[in-house]
Structure 1
Amino acid sequence: MAGGSGLRVWGTALGGVMVVLAVLTGCAGPFQYYEGTGLHDVTAAEVTGGWDNVEGTRVVLREDGTALLEKLDGQDFDFEDGWRLSGAGTWQLSDGDGGQVVRLALTSRTRVEQRSPLMVADTSTPEPPSTYAWRFYVDRDEHDEPKLFFFYGDPDVGNTYVMTRETGS
């Protein structure tokens, strides 16, 4: 009887550990640890130029590594603060194990706007940053043209903020 009791205690302890692990890993959505598109063949010339988003965002990546930003939202959880930044900055195309990314840095903020009040959940949002850095993943669309994107909001959801080549660029 003592052997059966020890087995039951062991089974209960193991079950408890499994529940704790399930709770801890349940919050890690598929995009929380996104490693990239695996793309390694895009050139800096292909990403140079103007980029748009359906929300009225415009980003211009210049050949000399400088950038102009207009109404660019924050990425990840910063998106929920509702600010949209405009100004000047720098950009760089880099390549890592997971694929290529465009690193964009706002160095001189010229304007801050808020998205529609209906989209901003909390009116006590922190002061928008005067400088900010984004990491755009580089991918290709169905026509083999480059596109840039980052994740916004809760990483468990996997919402993407997609920038497409500006018409005429």
Structure 2
Amino acid sequence: MVVTSGCGALFYPRLPTVHNASTEELVGDWTGPDGAKVILERDGRAEVRDLGGEDWAFDRGWGLSGTGTWQLIEGASGETIGGAPAVQISITNVTGQIQRPPRSIDKWTTAPYSPIGEYTWKFGMERTKEGLQPYYLAGDPDSPNLYHLKRT
């Protein structure tokens, strides 16, 4: 007898994690998918421009701009990617919202999303030959797409 499950720890992909990142490595200007911009200031302030939502929210095709705060948070099972430390960006002052046109990969994109008052991302981190790269997950958690930020 074979037992299967659509959602289970054994079926989730293994995601890259970093346990020794410093806030100094993260301070600066970053670009994301579809031309999004992320600015992480030394004093904990953050700004995003046209950054799409995480997980299922990304499939709805919206992005937002605004200001708020960022911090490096300790991970815990179920709270961050792989239980590793994460970059948390909380936008509390939304200054704009976009709806990208549907793309062929966005099967679940719906009508424009209702206005968003605030939003929080939790970015995992990966070390590559380019250095530390924060990323967030988009789409189905069983088969997510990783969207990396690249330093500009």
1:72 shift after superposition: 0.5
Tell whether the 8 Å contact from 2:68 to 2:92 is kept in structure 1 after alignment. yes
- Structure 2 unaligned segments of length 5 or more: list them: 77-82
**Runs of 4+ with >4 A deviation:** 119-122
Cα deviations across residues 23-48 of structure 1 (Å, max 9, x unaligned)? Answer: xx2344424xx6761x2211101101
1:120 shift after superposition: 6.9
Q: Where in structure 2 are the equivalents of 1:94-105 lying within 5 Å?
A: 94-96=73-75, 98-105=83-90
Tell whether the 8 Å contact from 2:99 to 2:113 is kept in structure 1 after alignment. no
1:57 shift after superposition: 0.5
The number of equivalent residue pairs is: 142
- TM-score, normalised to structure 2, is 0.82
Question: Is 117-126 or 64-73 further displaced after alignment?
Answer: 117-126
Q: Where in structure 2 are the equivalents of 1:54-65 lying within 5 Å?
A: 54-65=33-44
Does residue 162 in structure 1 map to residue 132 in structure 2? no
Quote the RMSD (CA, aligned, Å).
2.1
Does residue 73 in structure 1 map to residue 52 in structure 2? yes
1:156 shift after superposition: 1.9
- Cα distance in 2 for partners of 1:126, 1:67 equals 23
Q: What secondary structure sits across from 1:96 in the alignment? A: coil
Which structure's residues are more often helix, by fraction? 1
